[in-house]
Amino acid sequence: MSNKLIIQNLECVREDKIIFKRLSCDIESNQTMLIRGKNGSGKTSLLRTIAGYISKYNGSILFNDNDLQVNTELLSDFRFVGQKNSLKENLTVQQNIELWQLIYHTKNNVSEILDLLDIKMLLNKDIDSLSDGQKKLISLFRLLISKAKVWLLDEPLVFLDTNKIKLLENIILQHNQSGGITLYSSNNDIDLKYDLLINMDDYAVL
C-alpha cells in the first residue's frame, strides 16, 4: 500500500510570530525525510504541525490527497515521538507498556517488540533507575505498538549509542518498506539513512 504526504506552502504562526514560511515538500511511501536546522529554527514546530497539535497554520498538508485540517481522523495513523518520553517515572517498564496499550487500544503481543528493541531485561525495572538512552529506547516502543503509516520523530537520536542508532535505522527501514513514511529531526553528525533533506534555516523567519 502506498501513502503520500504533501506539504504545500506551509506557514506556521505561534503567538503572532511567524516561525517558518513557504515550506513545500512531497514525501512518498518508503521514504525518510531528515529535518535539519539550527536550534529554534522550527523543527519541532514543523513536526507538531504535521501531527495536528498546532491546528492554526496557513497552506495545506495533504495525506493521500485528503486535507489534514479537515479530515483530522486520518491523524490516528500518525505516530509522534517527541522529546518527552511519555514515561511515568515511578512505574516499571512493564506497567508503562500496559498503560500505552490501553491508550492505543491494542492487545497485541509485545514480546516480539521487546526482543526487537532488546529491552526484555529492563521489563521489571523502575523508569527512574534507567539511563536517558534506555528511556529513549523504551519511548520508541510506541512506534511499534500498533501499525501506523507515518512516523514523526523529534530528535530520536539524542542519548542513543551507535548500536541503537543502527537498530533504529533498521526499524525505520522495515516500516518504510511496508509502505510507511518517516520524518525525523536531528542535529547530530551521525544520521540515519535518509532520502530527502529539508533544512529549516531556509524557511525560518528570524
Binding site for other proteins (CB under 8 A): 14-15, 48, 51-56, 72-73, 75-76, 78-80, 82-91, 95, 98-100, 102-105, 142
Q: Which is nearer to other proteins, 33 or 81 (CB)?
A: 81
Q: Which residue has the cell 516480539?
A: 112
CB 127 within 8 A of CB 135: yes
Q: Which is nearer to other proteins, 104 or 179 (CB)?
A: 104
Query: What is the sign, positive or negative, of the torsion defined by CA atoms of 186, 137, 27, 19?
Result: negative
Q: Which is nearer to other proteins, 2 or 55 (CB)?
A: 55
Q: Is 206 exposed, middle or buried (0-12, 13-18, 19+ CB in 10 A)?
A: exposed
Helices (H) and strands (E) in the chain, counts: 6, 9
> Cβ of residue 181: shortest distance to other proteins, in angstroms?
16
Q: Which is nearer to other proteins, 65 or 73 (CB)?
A: 73
> Cβ of residue 18: shortest distance to other proteins, in angstroms?
14
> Cβ of residue 197: shortest distance to other proteins, in angstroms?
25
Separation between Cα atoms, residue 47 and residue 82, nearest integer Å: 9
Sheet holding 196-199, edge to edge: 78-81, 150-154, 181-185, 31-36, 196-199
Separation between Cα atoms, residue 23 and residue 203, nearest integer Å: 6
Output b/e per residue, 185-200; b: 16+ Cβ within 10 A.
bbeeeebbebeeebeb
> Cβ of residue 21: shortest distance to other proteins, in angstroms?
17
> Cβ of residue 125: shortest distance to other proteins, in angstroms?
14
What contacts 63, CB < 8 A, 6 or more positions away? Answer: 3, 4, 5, 6, 71, 74, 77, 150
Q: Which is nearer to other proteins, 66 or 170 (CB)?
A: 66
Q: Which is nearer to other proteins, 130 or 194 (CB)?
A: 130
> Cβ of residue 166: shortest distance to other proteins, in angstroms?
25
